[in-house]
Structure 1
Amino acid sequence: MRTTPLSWRIIQGIQQRLMVSKNIGIRKTQNRIINQVTGEIIYTPPEAREIPDLISNLEKFIHDESIRLDPLVCAGLVHYQFEAIHPFPDGNGRTGRILIVLQLIQLGILNLPKLYIRGCINRHRETYYKFLNKISFQVGWVPSIQFMLEAFLSQALETIKVLFDILSLFLELKEIFKDRFPNIARSNMLETIFSHPVIAPVKLGELLNVHYTTATKYLTELREARILHDLISGKYHFYLNHRLLGVLSK
């Protein structure tokens, strides 16, 4: 992603992957963002006929090398412009948040996609859309960008805590594996249940290059030790690294 310029084609591709086969592509009609509780219209995007020109302007801004702004400010500006355009029938919010991450990777701020500001935006949704309305009238840019910068900081601090919690859990289980499950510890089992916190025996066997029965034995031992939980869904039997999932769901 560092070497692939952000473009409208990539943005469309993100939305297509998110929506699978539903509501794909530029919207053809007017849409509105509505407060799900009160039914009040909280934001009305531009008309559909304006979208191509607005997207073209956004692309020019993204690739304008004469702009000398802090990368986080640039990412905030691009995000607000994209959300103000609201080019798709559905999936604009998710696409816009992914766009932030991709831009920060391209600008060298992130090396991995590990900063998502959804939680902060959802907690302050009313304020967020108030700023979006102001920006659509070309006012309120400074407090809007300040809001985004505070969202970046808040989410970064939360992400750091989550990463340390994951590391702490990993080191704790590493000691347990070494003391109680030496045979399992010699495989990459621990690393695998962190990279695949929900896994089936067949998949585990493929990843560890062991027979299905061996993979099932490993999973059963860890379930009996309450390191993993299991879940049966129809004919499928899954094993869950429930403590890791708990950390990730905070």
Structure 2
Amino acid sequence: MIKLETYRSGSLEKHPTVYSYFLPTPINDHWQWGDQTLNLLLEKAAIKLGELNSFARLVPNIDLFIQLHVTKEAVISSRIEGTQTEMEEALLEEEEISPERRNDWIEVKNYINAINQAIQELESLPISSRLIKQTHKILLSSVRGENKLPGEFRNSQNWIGGASLLDAVFIPPNQDYVNELMSDLEKFLHNEEINVPALIKIGIAHYQFETIHPFLDGNGRIGRLLITLFLVDKKVLQKPLLYLSAFFEQNKGLYYDKLTIVRNSNDLLQWLKYFLIGIAETAENATRTLSSILELKSRLEITLSKTFGKRAANANLLLQNLFLNPVVHVKQVQSILDLSYKSANDLINDFVEQNILKEMTGQIRNRVFVFDEYLKMFSLKKNQEPI
């Protein structure tokens, strides 16, 4: 039995050389707490998730809108790790990305593929080291991570912050403990006998995963994705519409501080309170975004039916496609709708006149058009509230 108020996060263990690493306490156990604030935050987070699930069930073709949530998560989660790709760039083709930004773009694309594949795998695989490794392999399949053992737990010591082990901010457990600790984490996630609420369970598991740091690279992105995968796997979240990276990125320092306080001061309660506030805020924002999307969709469908006459059917098909992929070329529209180049170009120009599409390159040739109002609902700009 572990009581949250007296929880001991682990111990510093001396390595035979010159550094000490942190060995976390196993978590697969019964958990208890007496803090009523935690219960209130748990209740609020559960209510907000329930509202998101209910709203998602009411949205026709909900899968149409999931992909941009996934893209936003990939952009933000990768940005936390230092990439510079913007949302609009993530939706472009590789040849349209300037060479100096292409590596960042590939990392984001890898993460999008990793998320989509992991969600699909949940239909046949439980949350497990196997699934986590498969996802990690896709994430690090090229560019900067290709020499960091993609799909494999680390076999050497890593560290966080600093130039070496000698000045590191944090040194995770020695590699000899990784398999054992990850096995404990996996058992904890699937232990139905300990009666720990799912949101508390994944909050503890996320902290533990980040502390174990089982990979040489990509731990942050995989650890944040693990939250969504677990909630979908346990049917707490009906659709993969909730990602916490936007909440964590609002104040990266606070996110890292909350994790560090657990290790330094054994204060898992503060981390869980912060985590549950993040769940509630993120679920509320996701619900608001879905509501705004539906209003936009309804308004534009009325506009198309009133102004496009005989071309309303093609215009509506283009609109539906734009919700799936809000960045297009004339040739893509030509292919999607089976139109001549001129007809596709005319249709796009009419969408521009209606302020539905906006040309984003400023070029005469190879023009790229963006469904601007829709994309702004997922804005990452610092002066706008993340959604």
Q: Given the alignment of the two structures, is residue 229 of structure 1 paired with residue 358 of structure 2, yes or no?
A: yes
**How far did 1:168 drift?**
1.9
1:68 aligns to what? 195
User: How far apart, CA to CA, are the structure 2 residues paired with 1:53 and 1:151?
Assistant: 30
Partner of 2:286: helix, strand, or coil? Answer: helix
Of 311, 323, 327, the match for 1:198 = 327
Write the letter of the residue equivalent to 1:133. Answer: T
2:377 counterpart SS class: helix
CA distance in 2 between counterparts of 1:16 and 1:109 reads 27
Which residues of 2 match residues 17-56 of structure 1 at below 5 A? 17-21=138-142, 22=145, 23=148, 24=150, 25-34=152-161, 42-56=169-183
Q: Are 1:197 and 1:241, in contact at CA under 8 Å, matched by a contact in 2?
A: yes
C-alpha separation in 1, matches of 2:247 and 2:169: 18
Aligned to 2:275: 148
User: Are the equivalent residues in 2 in contact too, given 1:229–1:242 (CA < 8 A)?
Assistant: yes
Aligned partners of 1:98 and 1:180: how far apart in 2?
Answer: 43
Matches of 2:230 and 2:258, distance apart in 1: 21
Report what 1:207 is aligned to: 336
Q: Which residue identity lines up with residue 191 of structure 1 in the other structure?
A: Q
CA contact (8 A) 2:125 2:131 kept: no
1:170 deviates by 1.5
Which residue in the other structure is 2:312 paired with? 185
Which deviations, in whole Å up to 9, do the C-alpha atoms of 1:187-239 show, x marking residues without a partner? 31211111110122333344334445433332222123332012458974322
CA distance in 1, matches of 2:241, 2:286: 8
Instruction: Say which structure, 1 or 2, has more relative contact order (CA 8 Å, 6+ apart).
Output: 2
Greater mean alpha carbon deviation, residues 99-108 or residues 183-192: 183-192
Q: How does 1:101-180 map to 2 (within 5 A)?
A: 101-136=228-263, 139-180=266-307
User: Contact (CA 8 Å) 2:209, 2:223: kept in 1 or not?
Assistant: yes
Tell me the amino acid that sits aligned with residue 240 of structure 2: P
1:243 aligns with 2:373: yes
Deviation at 1:93, TM superposition (A): 1.4
Q: Which residue of 2 aligns with 1:5?
A: 126
- For structure 2, the 5+ residue unaligned runs are 1-121, 380-385
Matches of 1:111 and 1:210 in 2, distance apart?
Answer: 37
Corresponding residue of 1:16: 137
Q: Is the 8 A contact 1:42 1:129 kept in 2?
A: no
Structure 2 CA distance for aligned equivalents of residues 138 and 128 of structure 1: 15
User: Is the aligned partner of 1:217 residue 2:346?
Assistant: yes
Q: Count residues in correspondence.
A: 246
Q: Deviations over 1:117-171 (max 9, x none)?
A: 1121122333332332344469222221111111101111111222222222222
CA distance in 2, matches of 1:197, 1:17: 25
Distance 1:41 1:172, change over 3 A: farther
User: How far apart are 1:244 and its partner, in Å?
Assistant: 0.9
Higher deviation after alignment, 26-35 or 145-154: 26-35
Q: Which amino acid aligns with 1:103?
A: F
Contact 2:161 2:169 in 1 (8 A): yes
Distance of 1:241 and 1:222 partners within structure 2: 9
State the TM-score, normalized to the length of structure 1: 0.86
Q: SS state of the match for residue 51, structure 1?
A: helix
- Which is worse superposed, 138-147 or 151-160? 138-147
Q: SS of the counterpart of 1:146?
A: helix
- TM-score, normalization: structure 2? 0.58
Q: State the AA in 2 paired with 1:162.
A: T
Paired-residue identity, %: 29
Please say if residues 198 and 241 of structure 1, whose CA atoms lie closer than 8 Å, have aligned partners that are also in contact. yes
